[in-house]
Amino acid sequence: MNVHLAFVSNMRFLLMCLAIAFPLKEGMAANGSGNANDWIYLRNSNLKVGVLKSSGAGIGYFSMAGSTRNLLNHYDRGRLVQQSYYGDADGSKWVAKEWRYNPVQGGDYKGKSPPVPEITKEGNSLYARSIPLHWATGEELSECLMEQWISLEENVMHVRYIFTYNGTKAHAPRHQELPAVFLDASLETLVTYDGKTPWMDKPVTDMTPGLTNEYIKMTENWVAYVNKRGQGVGVYVPSVVEATCYRFREKGGGDVNCSYVAPIRTFALTPGLRYSYDAYFTIGTVKEIRERFLKIHSEISARGRSDESIRKSD
């Protein structure tokens, strides 16, 4: 585990301790509850997706169309499926812990909501533009812009992310979460393919992560969490071959319990950065998840490129 992963591990552990020790503030949505007016939903014949306006339009609900069982965890502003990036230590503190530059789509650890200048829904698609908050300080980071486009395409949720950084400081390279994915704790088994011959229908690897962040390879660019019946949620991020993961499970912990995974890529937040990438999500068995992602992979291969890009803004 490198220095940044160790840092993230400490962060996640502290998050769990704080979540248990301090109840949510009034107005914050716990998993499966909250103000109905805070939600915007997309639906098709297969899937239902919900975003929380008060959490930077982060994705907080994902289920099959005919189910009321939410497979995501949105216990606090740091959960959800959302953008989160890391820079250098900046003298900030998360409670008593030294922290660093950390723009988070969902808000800050105290439950403060970020500005969302635009949310537009049209049919089965949604666009949101938000200004992230510093996770530790709650400061509005006006030098940053987070955008997301969500569309439902048969059995797949396609999310296009763009992060723009116009700050003046050049940060050191860090592992960045692409994106952070927090799932219901009932999805306990992590599954991926980490071998040397991708997309050849070779046996997958499964594991049950512990509390400390673990570092994994995902040679086919996807990872999934499934329940005891072998059904769950998969995420595919083209060309990304690494991920970090952990699970938190406290007896009687309720909604604070979760399963976490994030595909990761290393790059630096530097002035004029504009980073864009695609993430695909689906619900099903491991076989169904893998087959759907193979189809997307084949379509991307036929184009000769993915749509990921990292460049300086014009």
pLDDT for 74: 96
Name the token pair of 291.
């087959």
The number of distinct structural domains making up the chain is 1
* CATH number for position 297: 2.70.98
Distant-in-sequence, close-in-space partners of 96: CB < 8 Å, separation ≥ 6: none
Closest CA to 55 of 126, 134, 108, 117: 108
Average confidence score pLDDT of the chain? 90
Inform me whether the pLDDT recorded for 243 exceeds 90: yes
pLDDT for 308: 77
What CA–CA distance (Å, rounded) separates 71 from 83?
Answer: 18
pLDDT for 5: 44
Inform me whether the pLDDT recorded for 241 exceeds 80: yes
Contact by Cβ (8 Å): 182, 79 = yes
Inform me whether the pLDDT recorded for 309 exceeds 60: yes
Task: Determine if the pTM surpasses 0.85.
Answer: yes
Give the domain range for residue 184. 3-312
pLDDT for 50: 98
| Residue in the structure block whose two tokens are 């509005």 | 140
Contact by Cβ (8 Å): 224, 192 = yes
The residue type found at 58 is G
For residue 93, the cross-strand partners are: 98
39 sits in which H/E element:
strand 39-43
Closest CA to 38 of 26, 49, 29: 29
Whether the upstream peptide bond of residue 23 has omega within 30° of 0, thus cis, is no
pLDDT for 19: 46
For residue 289, the cross-strand partners are: none
- Of 1-5, 179-183, 271-275, where does mean pLDDT reach its minimum? 1-5
DSSP for 219-248, written as a single string: TTSEEEEE-TTSEEEEEE-TT--EEEEEEE
Determine the 3-state secondary structure of 211 from DSSP: coil
Which tens digits make up the pLDDT trace of 182-224? 999 999 999 999 999 999 999 999 999 999 999 999 999 999 9
